[in-house]
């Protein structure tokens, strides 16, 4: 049987095969599938249709199910669906995985060549030039031509075993070609990376679901490859390139060019941009060419790697503690804050508001890699006339949230169509309605994105303060349909939580205990934790002080709420609607049945810092920013984000921004964290609630 060339997909019924016939067909199918994986994922030139490939794969699965004793670990069917590992084991590398010394200066390249020429006693030395992939460096080990295991670079001497996840990457062969020519043991080095189009698609899905986007493809690849369950990796767009033999039984090739040829002969993917050079001029031309072409490549590179070709010369050059002397990385200058809008996607927040987000070609802004930026709302997109494919200038508003500042005009370039918000929610497909400048999903907690967001917000430190309940855990609780509303959190058992990825007996018990301990909040904390539209911490405190108990607030009408100074009609209307909604009342009732007891808010008294205004800048050691604001607000003061003549105190932490200088220029008092603590303690530090 030959499934390599024009494979026949008309198969005899499995129950009519004896074991010998099944074994022969299984071997032939594995060989054929591996061959077509190589053509598709390594060579990029498939010879059969997806439909034919699926028939071959499904037939192999059917045979292995019927003859389970013929299953093998290196079968193509074992790439996905493997049992999750309990943790990532430590692995000692066959040989050190050195990091590369890097430079931005041409003079350092000249010095590198001069040193190598002197050591070789020649006027020129041959180098191999390669793109510097911005990915995850890995060691992959083969035994007798079969995949054995793979690990992360880690410390360079020791890494983590990620074999279960590497198997899901189709470009990585489970069996080498010409395996009769392979050494008994072979350790090679490669780079796992995420192609740009796959990265953009992944971030689009994450943003639409209300999850945090990955900042760049390298972080995405590194985070995904350390998952404990390969089923969460198998559908991710990962690829791998190989570029070095680390260790082998028997003789190594004499040059790096021969190594690359040998890797390719074994069916391992190498980079088609590699080339040789022996002069600084040729190296500079290569560096310049790739710097210009990097935006058009389907993967991220941040420079080039220059390696001596001759292995004897490499040995003569030797190594430093953590890097070889025979190789050097010449990095590209960081991209400026002007970049390209690759896509505009719509994110669904916990309150149902749809926000357009620009997915960007990653760009460095003040030392931070930015790959997404808010576009606020449809009106803002139209006002700035931002479209997919535009060049834009990015700014970080308040040094935190990246946003698109303006479009950079590119004369002569054809532009994409104007952006419009969707009519249906991108997560749950419910109807979308417009409320003022915003579009809102009408599904409420039936929308998975809103539910995930509400769980995260409910558990936040400034809300119910439930440790260990972050974004990833909230996602799993919703995806596995373990939580359909906030009341379900209190019904989760330790065994339920143990089934989540990343949890074992101890961590599951810790989360369970943290949820159970979050049963007696003060009213203002509980109101903020519920995540009502327009109800932040300040409004939650106003509501709690006015109505004192949860029962009183749930009975209040719009006019009573609107009578509170500073609360507008829209907030009052939204609050009344929330507590009159039968579904919300039912969730609160179920929470109370599970032991939730909301403590009344203390009656407001004259507060010692009433009328004072605080601004915080820099990082505080003993408070988060929200905690510091809560302290002053509980004492009657306001916390604002900008310095003005009405500011009374600017609290200065470590690494402060420009706000300290602004305060000093207009004569506003600046105090450090120690003085801030003395001030709030003097007036009676309020309970955290």
Q: What average pLDDT does this structure show over 488-516?
A: 92
Is 52 marked within a binding site? Answer: yes
Is 191 marked within a binding site? Answer: yes
Q: What average pLDDT does this structure show over 175-194?
A: 91
What length does the chain have? 689
Q: What domains does the chain contain, in order, with CATH numbers?
A: 14-79 (1.10.287.610), 102-329 (3.30.470.30), 338-439 (2.40.50.140), 445-593 (1.10.150.20), 613-682 (3.40.50.10190)
- β-partners of residue 274 are none
Is 127 marked within a binding site? Answer: no
Reference 76, options 125, 35, 26, 30; nearest CA is 30
Is 342 marked within a binding site? Answer: no
Task: Determine the pLDDT at residue 684.
Answer: 62
H or E stretch covering 678? helix 673-682
Is 153 marked within a binding site? Answer: yes
Three-state secondary structure call for residue 291: helix
Average pLDDT of the chain? Answer: 87
Is 343 marked within a binding site? Answer: no
Reference 487, options 597, 594, 351, 585; nearest CA is 594
> Does the CA dihedral 253-255-256-261 come out positive or negative?
negative
Radius of gyration of the chain from its Cα atoms, rounded to whole angstroms? 30
Q: What average pLDDT does this structure show over 126-146?
A: 94
Is 55 marked within a binding site? Answer: no
Task: Determine the pLDDT at residue 687.
Answer: 40
pLDDT at residue 84 greater than cutoff 70: no
Strand 102-103 relative to strand 327-331, pairing:
parallel
Q: Which CA distances in Å does 333 have to 104, 122, 177, 219, 289?
A: 7, 32, 40, 20, 14
Question: What phi and psi values does residue 475 have, to the nearest 5 degrees?
Answer: -60, -45
Q: What is the pLDDT of residues 271-313, one digit of tens each?
A: 999 999 999 999 999 999 999 898 888 888 989 999 999 999 9
What is the Cα–Cα distance from 621 to 519, expressed in whole angstroms?
Answer: 28
* Cα 684–chain centre separation: 42
What is the Cα–Cα distance from 383 to 364, expressed in whole angstroms?
Answer: 26
Q: Which CA distances in Å does 484 have to 478, 489, 518?
A: 7, 9, 18
Q: What average pLDDT does this structure show over 538-546?
A: 90
Q: What average pLDDT does this structure show over 545-550?
A: 92
Task: Determine the pLDDT at residue 345.
Answer: 92
Residue 266 C-beta-side C-alpha neighbours within 13 Å: 30
| Environment class of 115 (CB within 10 Å of its CB; exposed 0-12, middle 13-18, buried 19+) | middle
Is 272 marked within a binding site? Answer: no
Q: Are 126 and 278 in contact (CB under 8 A)?
A: yes
Question: What phi and psi values does residue 188 have, to the nearest 5 degrees?
Answer: -125, 160
Which of 20, 87, 119, 132 does the annotation list as catalytic?
132
Is 425 marked within a binding site? Answer: yes
- β-partners of residue 424 are 431
Annotated catalytic residue 132: yes
Is 271 marked within a binding site? Answer: no
Share of the chain above pLDDT 70, in %: 96
- Predicted TM-score (pTM) of the model is 0.60
124-146 CB burial, b ≥16 within 10 A, e <16? ebbbbbbbbbbbbbbbbbbeebe
Is 100 marked within a binding site? Answer: yes
Q: What average pLDDT does this structure show over 469-483?
A: 90
Q: List CB contacts of 578: < 8 A, sequence separation 6 or more.
A: 530, 532, 533, 584
Q: What is the pLDDT of residues 610-624, one digit of tens each?
A: 889 999 998 888 888
Q: What is the pLDDT of residues 195-212, one digit of tens each?
A: 988 888 888 888 877 777
Q: What average pLDDT does this structure show over 1-14?
A: 78
Q: Are 136 and 239 in contact (CB under 8 A)?
A: no
Is 307 marked within a binding site? Answer: yes
Place of tokens 């060339």: 5
What is the Cα–Cα distance from 340 to 97, expressed in whole angstroms?
Answer: 35
């Amino acid at each position: 049987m030959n499934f390599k060339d024009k494979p026949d997909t008309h198969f005899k019924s499995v129950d009519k095969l004896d074991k010998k016939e099944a074994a022969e067909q299984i071997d032939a199918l594995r060989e054929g599938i591996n061959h077509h994986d190589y053509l598709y994922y390594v060579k990029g030139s498939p010879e059969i249709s997806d439909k034919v490939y699926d028939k071959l794969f499904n037939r192999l699965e059917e045979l292995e199910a019927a003859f389970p004793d013929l299953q093998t670990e290196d079968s193509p069917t074992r790439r996905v669906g493997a049992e999750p590992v309990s943790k990532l084991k430590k692995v000692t590398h066959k040989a050190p995985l050195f990091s590369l010394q890097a430079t931005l200066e041409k003079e350092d390249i000249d010095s590198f060549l001069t040193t190598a020429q002197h050591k070789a006693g020649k006027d020129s030395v041959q180098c191999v030039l390669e793109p510097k992939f911005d990915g995850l460096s890995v060691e992959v080990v083969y035994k007798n031509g079969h995949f054995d295991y793979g690990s992360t670079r880690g410390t360079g001497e020791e890494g983590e075993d990620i074999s279960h996840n590497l198997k899901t990457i189709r470009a990585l062969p489970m069996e080498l070609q010409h395996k009769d020519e392979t050494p008994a043991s072979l350790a090679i080095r490669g780079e796992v990376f995420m192609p740009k189009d796959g990265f953009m698609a992944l971030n689009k899905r994450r943003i639409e679901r209300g999850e945090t986007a990955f900042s760049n493809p390298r972080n995405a690849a590194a985070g995904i490859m350390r998952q404990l369950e390969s089923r969460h990796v198998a559908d991710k767009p990962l690829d791998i390139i190989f570029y070095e033999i680390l260790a082998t039984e028997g003789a190594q090739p004499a040059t790096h060019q021969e190594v690359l040829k040998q890797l390719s002969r074994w069916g391992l993917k190498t980079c088609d941009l590699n080339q040789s050079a022996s002069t600084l001029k040729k190296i500079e031309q290569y560096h310049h060419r790739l710097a210009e072409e990097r935006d058009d490549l389907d993967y991220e590179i941040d420079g080039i790697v220059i390696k001596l070709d001759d292995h004897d010369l490499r040995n003569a050059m030797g190594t430093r503690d953590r890097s070889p002397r025979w190789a050097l990385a010449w990095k590209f200058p960081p991209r400026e804050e002007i970049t390209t809008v690759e896509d505009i996607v719509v994110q669904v927040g916990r309150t149902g508001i749809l926000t357009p987000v620009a997915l960007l070609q990653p760009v460095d802004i003040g030392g931070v890699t930015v790959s997404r930026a808010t576009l606020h709302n449809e009106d803002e997109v139209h006002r700035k006339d931002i479209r997919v494919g535009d060049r834009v200038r990015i700014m970080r508003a308040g040094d935190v949230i990246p946003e698109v500042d303006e479009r950079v005009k590119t004369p002569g370039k054809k532009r994409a169509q104007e952006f419009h918000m969707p009519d249906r929610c991108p997560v749950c497909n419910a109807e979308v309605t417009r409320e003022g400048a915003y579009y809102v999903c009408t599904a409420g907690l039936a929308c998975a994105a809103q539910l995930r967001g509400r769980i995260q917000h409910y558990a936040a430190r400034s809300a119910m303060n439930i440790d260990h309940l972050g974004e990833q855990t909230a996602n799993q609780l919703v995806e596995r349909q373990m939580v359909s509303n906030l009341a379900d959190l209190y019904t989760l058992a330790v065994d339920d939580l143990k089934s989540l990825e990343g949890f074992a007996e101890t961590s599951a018990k810790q989360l369970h205990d943290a949820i159970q301990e979050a049963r007696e909040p003060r009213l203002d904390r509980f109101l903020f934790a519920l995540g009502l539209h327009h109800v932040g911490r300040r409004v939650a405190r106003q509501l709690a002080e006015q109505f004192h108990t949860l029962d009183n607030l749930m009975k209040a009408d719009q006019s009573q709420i609107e009578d509170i100074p500073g609360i507008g009609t829209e907030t009052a209307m939204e609050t009344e609607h929330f507590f009159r909604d039968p579904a919300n009342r039912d969730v609160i009732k179920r929470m109370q049945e599970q032991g939730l007891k909301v403590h009344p808010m203390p009656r407001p008294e004259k507060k010692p810092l009433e009328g004072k205004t605080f601004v915080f800048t820099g990082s505080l050691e003993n408070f988060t920013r929200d905690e510091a604001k809560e302290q002053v607000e509980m004492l009657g003061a306001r916390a604002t984000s900008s310095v003005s003549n009405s500011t009374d105190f600017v609290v200065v932490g470590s690494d402060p921004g420009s706000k300290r200088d602004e305060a000093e220029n207009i004569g506003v008092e600046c105090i450090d964290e120690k003085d801030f603590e003395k001030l709030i303690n003097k007036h009676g530090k309020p309970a955290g609630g």
